[in-house]
Structure 1
Amino acid sequence: MRTPAARTLADYGVIVRRSWWLVIGTVAAALAAGVAYTELSPEVYESTAAVLVLPTEGDTAVQGARTAGQVNLDTEAQLVKSTEVADAAAEALGADPADDLVSHVSVTVPPNTAVLEISFQAGSPQAAQEGSVAFSEAYLAHRLAGATASLDREIAAANTELDTVGGEIAEAQDRLDGMDSGDGGRAGLESDLEDLQNRAGELETEIAGLQAQTEAVTPGRVINSASLPQTPISPKAMFNLAAALGVGLPLGLMLAWARHRLARKVSYPADLVDRCELDVVASVPPGVKFQRREVFGAYSPGGRVFAQLRNIVASQLTHDQRVIVVAGIAPGPAASVVAANLATAMARAGDRVTAVAANPSTTVGLPELFGTDPVPGLADAWSGRIDLSETVQAAPRQPSLSVIGPGAAARATGPTSEAAAETFAKLAEAGRFVVVDAPPLSCSADAQLLAGHADAVILAVQSQRDAISETAAAAVAMRQIDTPLLGAVLLPAVLGPMNTVPLPTARRELSGRRAPTADETPTDSLEPVESGEDASTEVIPAVPSAAPAAEPR
């Protein structure tokens, strides 16, 4: 027997097929949400400028950087999004510096390059282009200011020293002008003045050189100007739909699995295998229609199902094993339908079969399906009022098939272990197979008692009617006895006329009175069976059905 641990991919396919509408609905809802998100999302444009970063005097090689050289491009990428650069870009754009412009900027560094790709996103193509240009220029200006800051400081220091030397030169010149040519110390003062003038010349040369260096500093340049974007980068319709499908499909599958695991009624064969641990020996497709209260025709779709069931049952039983009990789960015609069609399929194969109606709770039993009378029947024989042989009736249209009805007061006379064993033994001697329509397991233990004296058990389950918990409990109850449980037969949810209460059948008048039907004639009104050869028994004659026998479909 297969268990849930042995579930295959085909089993999961059955679960998906049973809830295909749920999976498709979930996917459709997810796709609709993706379309709505795409339509409602504002358009976003992006423009990108490529900036080549060049080393300057202040740059030094950094160990462990992604790129070789004096410039650490990871640091430079962070500088692009710094507050100083953002404020300068905001001023160039004429925007409020408090605006969160940095969130619209992204910087990437292509591998093995000294290039920064500065991208700016905005709600219009023009704004995206202007933002990329503003951040690129602000970054280069910031880098230029940082690279020339040390030179500016040196120039300022040299200018300060030059001013000092200039003052000393003026003072020395004034003193020299006040002295006569023959005064002592004039030669030394002239020498000091000459040194100061030389120093002033050196400082002027140094300042000129520093200014030349400042003008020669190149922190980088824009190698690809920001272009005007033609199409928005967001929303992306295909991406959103793919994401919606990626979310909706798994969600739909999970909902289908949850529906399968939380289902309370048996709906598919997979329910019997996975949740009830029952083998499915036959399953009547939902498309098979039950048109009349009779068995399926030999070559009808339903007839082929039960012909295959007949072959399975025959292969499982030996020559000495002849009694098959068919038990339902909940009150209803399911067990009677299975028992009647299985018995008919066996009879068509040439076996002598006796169908026994031991299920008084069904609305449509074996007598209604075969066109025989419910009385006298099994309850009459078990009560000791009638001999078992007198309850056997020949089924119309099937010469090798006999039927035993439930009998009068069938609901008041339940089986005993001894009576069931004796009945089955007698019937097995007369025919090849005995098919017993047993009471439902959810409301009676009689089926378990009858199965204890049988050779095989089959459970009849009706889709969308029998509860999974009751079906599993019935399987456990049948496994607790020694009789082999062959499996379950799954019937459709709609059985047509089988689900309705049988219409009254015109009965032949007996002695000026209407013939009693099952459960109407008290058991005590029948005379007991006398022992001995001269025993005479007063038996209620069989009441033929007023309706003509219909030909099998």
Structure 2
Amino acid sequence: MRTPAARTLADYGVIVRRSWWLIIGTVAAALTAGFAFTSLSEEVYESTSSILVLPTASDTEVAGARTAGQVNLDTEAQLVKSTEVAVAAAEALGSADPDDLVSRVSVTVPPNTAVLEIAFRAGDAEAAKAGAVAFSEAYLEHRRAGATASLEGAIAAGTVELDAVKADIAAAEDELSGMDSGENGRSRLEAELDGLQQQADEIEAEIAGIEAQQGAISPGRVINQASAPGKPVSPNAMFNLAAALGIGLPLGLILAWARHRLARKVAYPTDLVERCELDVLASVPPAVKFQRREVFGAYSPGGRVFSQLRNVVSSQLTHDQRVIVVAGVAPGPAASVVAANLATAMARAGDRATAVAANPSTTVGLPELFGTDSVPGLADVWSGRVDLAVATQAAPRQPSLNVIGPGAAARATGPTSEAAAETFSKLAEAGRFVVVDAPPLSCSADAQLLAGHADAVILAVQSGRDSIGETAAAALAMRQIDTPLLGAVLLPSVLGPMNTVPLPGARREAPLAPAVSEDETPTDSLEPVEDLETTQVIPAVRSAAEPR
């Protein structure tokens, strides 16, 4: 049993080509969904303002902060979305839901800057601008209030300390005023009073400095004013369509792969290789048209395919190996078409060949394809009614090709092992190749019996008609005998007139035996052909130039 080769890029291309309509349909559906989502989505506008954050007296450096400098911008970004700032922004916008405003604001910190970018989204451009302005102003005011509160606390603490010093000064002055000029301790008290006065001056100077600093507080400034956006940021049609394509294309490929793996019918040569473990000897392209019920011309596209098949088959057989059985998978003309064209290609190459019709159930038989008579034929030979030489006819236009029809009792008698071996042996002695059109394996075991006495087997598979399971089973049945299975020939799904049964009036008349309806009479009850009054003796080989 052969092992399939590793999958190549060309194999994936076949899978895509096999289900291109499914992939395109999935992508189209995804793009339609993306377009519908874009059309139905509410428009969202975004306005952004940029604030340069400046350090204040209340700022202290944070160890391990992501941003360098005295101001930790990550902390400031969180403050923009704090409840206090949101409430102030809601008051400015006249909104009653600060939480809704917070959900629509976003803050980013550009790398290596001291800038906060405050973006606000709303349903229209003016509302987006107003929201960005409101949050910017509320944040700056909150930062200014925080810095001012810190300085005011320092001023209040300084004032308390100054009042205490002034109280000490007043007490020292009162005590000093009650002393005489030369009284003991006066000089010490005067020195102490001078120290208190100096301390009070220092505190006053410090308070004055804080008050000056309070007047010069600058928590930051807006360096890029928010403006009304000209177009919405959402929905983004290009992004949505690109996302739809990014989802639809992989999904389509997955569906194509699933269809390939779950397919029940043979459609491409890769199906035979991967799922049936069959070598593909030849594949007739779907572009090849079957116009008439006859073999392909030598230089037609189909004729070239079977000429190449002849070369492949002959290269795999030795001189003593001559008998080739062509078996179909399901009832139909596939095996007959392959056998007739292969035998014709062998004859065109100069080989003596004999085409044997052992498949009575086909819609088109070898005699019809070659223009010969169906009777007497193989079944008549096996039943002893005629000799093999009498049943052998020359094919018109192919002097080196002989044809043996199915015979008058083809459906009433089947091959026996002894008869098949004897027939093939005689035909192989008379010619270079013997090509046997065998019954389909899905409804008869005759092909396996015939193949047991042949030198090689070829399976004829029709795409879109033969199932993968039946094809694999047919290959397994042929591998169970000793005859080598060379591979398979894949025919297109459309065989034109080959697939139709001809009307009764269009059938060739059998000149040698009376017509038998349905041909269900047992062979043993038939009289020998030679005893019939209407019998005419036919030479073993009819001249191609003789009129029919």
Same fold (TM over 0.5): yes
Alignment-derived partner of residue 341 in structure 1: 341
Judge conservation of contact 1:408–1:517 (CA < 8 Å) in 2. Answer: no
1:355, distance to aligned residue in structure 2 (A): 0.8
2:272 and 2:329 map into 1 onto residues whose CA distance is 13
Partners of 1:107 and 1:542 in 2: how far apart? 105
Aligned length: 533
Aligned to 1:444: 444
Any idea what the Cα deviations from partners look like across 1:392-449, whole Å, max 9, x if unmatched?
1222232221111222332332222222111111100001110000111111221112
User: Using a 3 Å threshold, how does the CA distance of structure 1 residues 509 and 260 change in structure 2: closer, same or farther?
Assistant: closer
Would the alpha carbon gap of residues 269 and 17 (structure 1) be closer, same or farther in structure 2, given more than 3 Å must change? same
Unmatched 5+ stretches in structure 2: 539-543
Of the structure 1 ranges 346-355 and 434-443, higher mean CA displacement relative to structure 2 is found in 346-355
Give 1:419's aligned residue: 419
SS, match of residue 459 in structure 1 = strand
1:364 is displaced (CA, Å) by 1.7
Q: Secondary structure at the match of 1:101?
A: helix
Letter in 2 for 1:396: P
Q: Which residue of 2 aligns with 1:399?
A: 399
What CA RMSD, in Å, does the superposition of the two structures yield over aligned residues? 3.4
Aligned position for 2:495: 495
CA distance in structure 2 between the partners assigned to 1:72 and 1:540 by the alignment? 116
Alpha-carbon distance in 1 for matches of 2:230, 2:318: 82
Q: CA deviation at 1:356?
A: 0.8
Partner of 2:541: none
Task: Report the more deviating stretch, 149-158 or 191-200.
Answer: 191-200
Do 1:408 and 1:520's aligned partners in 2 also have CA atoms closer than 8 Å?
A: no
Per the alignment, residue 41 of structure 2 pairs with: 41
1:118-129 superposed matches below 5 A: 118-129=118-129
- How far the C-alpha of 1:519 sits from its partner, in A, is 2.2
Counterpart check, 1:133 vs 2:130? no
Change (3 A) 1:520 1:477: closer
Q: In the TM superposition, what is the alpha-carbon distance from 1:169 to its structure 2 partner?
A: 9.4
Distance 1:58 1:220 in 2: 13
Cα offset, 1:517, TM superposition:
7.1
Distance in 2 separating the partners of 1:487 and 1:301: 21
Other-structure match for 2:509: 507
User: What TM-score comes out, normalization by structure 2 length?
Assistant: 0.87
Counting only pairs closer than 5 Å after superposition, residues 91-490 of structure 1 correspond to structure 2 as 91-159=91-159, 205-490=205-490
Structure 1: distance between partners of 2:537 and 2:172: 156
AA paired with 1:501?
V
| Matched residue SS, 1:327 | strand
State the distance in 2 between where 1:25 and 1:284 align.
Answer: 28
Counterpart code for 2:78? Q
CA shift digits 1:21-49 (9 cap, x unpaired): 11112222222222222222222222222
The verdict on how the C-alpha distance between 1:407 and 1:39 changes in structure 2, with shifts beyond 3 A counting, is same
Contact 1:378 1:391 (C-alpha < 8 Å) held by counterparts: yes
Structure 1 residue 265: Cα displacement: 0.7
Question: Secondary structure of 1:381's partner?
Answer: helix
Query: Aligned partners of 2:291 and 2:201: how far apart in 1?
Result: 123
Gaps of 5+ in 1: 530-535
- Residue 109 of structure 1 aligns with an amino acid whose one-letter code is V
Worse-superposed segment, 281-290 or 518-527: 518-527
* Residues 539, 151 of structure 1: alpha-carbon distance in 2 compared, 3 angstrom cutoff: farther
- Equivalent residue runs for 1:528-543 within 5 Å: 541=535
Q: Specify the code of the residue in structure 2 equivalent to 1:507.
A: E
User: Structure 2: how far apart are the matches of 1:231 and 1:2?
Assistant: 64
Q: Deviations over 1:232-256 (max 9, x none)?
A: 2222222222222212211111111
Compared with structure 1, are the counterparts of its residues 90 and 237 closer, same or farther at alpha carbon in structure 2 (3 Å cutoff)? same
Cα 1:112–1:193 shift into 2, 3 Å: closer
Report deviation, 1:466.
Answer: 0.4
1:73 matched to 2:111? The reply is no
How far apart, CA to CA, are the structure 2 residues paired with 1:81 and 1:45? 19
Percent of aligned pairs with the same amino acid: 78
2:225 alignment partner AA: S
Alpha-carbon distance between aligned partners in 2 of 1:272 and 1:509, rounded to the nearest angstrom: 43
Residue 268 of structure 2 aligns with an amino acid whose one-letter code is: Y
- Aligned-partner Cα distance in 2 for 1:260–1:239: 32
**Counterpart residue number, 1:63:** 63
Secondary structure at the counterpart of residue 117 of structure 2 = strand
**Kept after mapping to 2: 8 A contact 1:407/1:519:** no
Q: Report the CA distance between 1:225 and its aligned residue.
A: 1.9
Q: Name the CA distance, whole Å, in 2 between partners of 1:239 and 1:36.
A: 13
